[in-house]
Structure 1
Amino acid sequence: MTCSPTPPSPTAHSVPRDSTAPVPAPALKRAVDWAIVSRRSIRAFLPTPVGLGEVHAILDVARHAASGMNTQPWRVHVLTGSAKERLSAAIAAVDNDGNAAGALTEPYHYYPLDWVSPYVDRRRKVGWDLYGLLGIAKGDKARMHAQHGRNYRFFDAPVGLIFTVSRALQAGSLLDYGMFLQSLMVAARARGLDTCPQVAFTKFHQVIHAELGIPDTEMVVCGMGLGHANPACIENTLVTERESVESFTTFHA
């Protein structure tokens, strides 16, 4: 079989898409592995600014994530400064109103309706490990609410991201979206930045739609804080446990 010549790309890319690695293979492997393994959900950020040019560069890498039939379902809203503050304040006003918060609905089910083991055990462990670091006792609903409310300030990250997807698409596009989000977070790590993907935003989708002028044809997928981790905050010492390869893999020969 003879391959046809590759036509020139119609668009310019800031990162070359050729097959030549920019560094020797051993260094490349270490760098990529480090960016993936060192990614953690950061829950306290420094106020150090992140330039919009840097955010654009990260998105420019992430846009090359795989998607079924090249549908590229992602839509991204980048929030900084007063725009981020306005959204956080609008969500906080609803979150702190018991009646209003109780009437909220999710745009889609991210978590199972009925939790079973081992998933519920992992969920509980990460929650109590975090609260343990913060000194929040079981049953202290006021402090739990306050800590959870920090989600809606993007944990004080200088950049907040809100992701949406067309309602015309189906569940497969959420799989594609996961690859896009992971690519974004790995690209951020390669630049010395940290992230926290946040599904907590979804139940405030109506507030987000109103504040950002998002049409009803779009659905909120999640939010994300982006910036530099604050090393002085104890919550950033949380490292979640991961199962071994052998626990989830069956090799067939």
Structure 2
Amino acid sequence: MRTGKEEHPNMKIARYSYKGHIRFGILEDGLLHELERTPFTEMKKTGSTYRLEDVELLTPVFPQKIIAVGLNYRDHAEEFGLSIPGEPVLFMKPPSSLLPHGGEIVYPSMSKRVDYEAELVLVVGRECREVRVEEAPSCILGYTCGNDVTARDLQARDGQWTRAKSFDTFCPLGPFIETEVDPLGLTVELRLNGELRQSSPASNMIFSPAELLSFTSRVMTLYPGDVIMTGTPSGVGEMRPGDVVEVVIEGVGTLRNTVVAP
């Protein structure tokens, strides 16, 4: 299947709402160029353009599945005193946890400790199953920024991760999908109220994005728009209501959200 990436290198793809209608578009020279169809089929423009200030940016995809990976940076495993995993540790977040760029992370009343976790996120471009590692890049539409928000106290209390990772607004994603980057040449950073808290080359991952997609596709069929969050580096920490948190990945974008009380 052709996605049109060959004809349009280095695209930033957005998903947005305009006058109640949800559309996909390509960001060029500060304008959104509307696409006739989804970016998973073709990249043909309609000819309509919109200014960013005139639309509501949504999460760049609305996935069937949000697959996340625990302990995929050696320094993150070490800061929690955990062993380096021999294969990817997968868990999932529900689509109801999605939050767009500019949205508010709601601090849940049942938690006393909510943490940020900056992540590079891959977006699946086509249906795939049992993918070999060398074939995996052809299954990836592109990359975006994500924040695997976690109620750390509930994670420790429950002994597993579902509740701690799944509150509404606990999966900020966006603002755009960058289609042509070398994921292992990127640096994943997080700033809390302007102060740098996380910074690591993605090359420090234990399992590369291609390896993660291949492994996951041997567990479950992946569909266009599904996302895989590739793990967070060391430096995770607490957020409080009133904080501004930014996931910054040069070449991909800046995902900015604020934290609010319940």
User: TM-score over 0.5 for the alignment?
Assistant: no
What range is the shorter-chain TM-score in? under 0.3
More strand by share: 2
Question: Normalised by the size of structure 1, how large is the TM-score?
Answer: 0.23
**Higher fraction of helix:** 1
Could you state the TM-score of these two structures normalised by the residue count of structure 2?
A: 0.23
